[in-house]
Amino acid sequence: MDDFRTLDRLRRTRENLDLRLSVIECFQWDGEDDGSADELRRMIDEISEDITRLETKTV
């Protein structure tokens, strides 16, 4: 049961980060980048990997 809760939390976190990334990308002008978009992409990738591992484990 804990795995399913964790999986749900990870999915919601990834959705939240995807939304934040979209907002950041919308407000970056002419190539301005403070690194926050890259950091979010890295976090999203790590969470996606965690989700894949957990999905494999729970199926």
**DSSP labels for 1-59?**
-HHHHHHHHHHHHHHHHHHHHHHHHHT--TT---SHHHHHHHHHHHHHHHHHHHHHHH-
Q: How many CB atoms lie within 10 A of CB 17?
A: 17
pLDDT in tens, the chain (59 residues): 588 899 999 999 999 999 999 988 888 766 666 788 889 999 999 999 999 999 898 76
Q: Are 25 and 38 in contact (CB under 8 A)?
A: no
